[in-house]
Amino acid sequence: MSSNGVSSTRSHRPRRRFGQNFLHDPGVIRRIVAAIDPGAGDLMVEIGPGKGALSRPLLAHLRHLHVVELDRDLAAALRQGPLAERMTVHEGDALRFDVASLASGPGTVRVVGNLPYNISSPLLFHVLEQLHAIRDLHFMLQREVVERMAAAPGGRIFGRLSVMVQARCQVEMLFRVAAGAFRPAPEVESAVVRLTPRPEPPRPELLSALGLVTTRAFAQRRKTLRNSLKGVVDAAAVQAIGLDPGARPETLSSEDFLRLARQHLETRAGVDKTCG
C-alpha cells in the first residue's frame, strides 16, 4: 500500500504492478501517527510514501525523514514538494534497500510503511534481517497477515509466519483499517501492527534451523511432530527436550519451536563431529 497527499501527485493514477492503494482517511492517518509517537530526533524510514499522506504528519514531529519509493514519478514529486528540504528520497526497490546503512548505532532506526500486499511477506522478512539496526517497526498490512503474525498457539491461524516473526519480535496488532480508507479500495481489510525487536533475537544459523523445522512441521498440519519432523528432529530428541512427539505443530509455542531448532543444530553438530 502507499500513502497519499502531496499536491503535485494528485493526478497520479495508481499502478497495479506496484500494488498502489493510496491512504486518504485523515482519522486513520492520525491513529497511525499517534501509535508511532515520533520524536523530533528519531531516525525514521518510511517505506512506500506514495503521495505523502503519512510523510507530512510525521514531519510535523520529526526534523528529518528518509523515504523509500519505487515509483519514479512519485519519487520525483516528493523531491519537489514542500517537505523536500527535510526529506531524503531513496528511489528504488525496498526489497533491496539497506535500512541498516542509515543507522547511527544498534537499534536506532524506526521503520514505518504501508506495505504492498503483493510483496508484503518478502519485504517484511527483508527488513527483519536487519533487526540489529532497528528500534521498532510499524506496518500496515493485510489484516489476515497481521492476525497470523500475532496469533497465539492453539488456533488454526497459528503457523510458520507466526513463529518466524514472534521469534524475532514482540508482535502487537494495533487496529484494523477498512478498505474504504484507501483509493482505490482494496478487496480486503488492512491492519496496523507494531513489531518490537527482542533484546536477543536468534542468531542467523538458529533462524535457518527454525525455518527448516517450521516448514516441515506446518507442511501437513494434521501430522504429529513424530511424523512431520522425521529426519530433522527425531521422536527421541523431541521427547528429550520435554515436548510430546505426538503433538500437532499448532499446539507448540514459538519458544518450543526454537527449542526444536536448537535440538536440530545440536544433533547435526554431533553427526558432523562423528563423520569428521
156 and 114 in a common domain: yes
Residue 51 has pLDDT above 60, yes or no: yes
Q: What is the pLDDT of residues 142-200, one digit of tens each?
A: 999 999 999 999 999 999 999 999 999 999 999 999 999 998 888 889 999 999 999 99
Q: In terms of domains, do 193 and 217 share one?
A: no
Shared domain check, 210 and 191: no
Claim to verify: residue 193 and residue 208 sit in the same structural domain: no
Look at the chain and count its residues. 276
Rounded to 10 deg, the angle between the 204-219 and 254-275 helix axes is: 110
Q: Give the pairing of strands 169-177 and 190-197.
A: antiparallel
Q: Which residues of 60-93 are buried (b: 16+ CB within 10 A; e: fewer)?
A: eebeebbbbbbbeebbebbeebebeeebebbeee
What range defines the domain where residue 255 resides?
A: 204-275
pLDDT at 4: 39
Note the pLDDT tens digit of each residue in 61-119.
Answer: 999 999 999 999 999 999 998 889 999 999 999 999 999 999 999 999 999 998 888 88
Boundary-marking domain end, from 197, 230, 251: 197
Q: How far apart are CA 17 and CA 123, in angstroms?
A: 15
Look at residues 197, 216, 235 and tell me which one is the last residue of a structural domain: 197
CATH number of residue 245's parent domain? 1.10.8.100
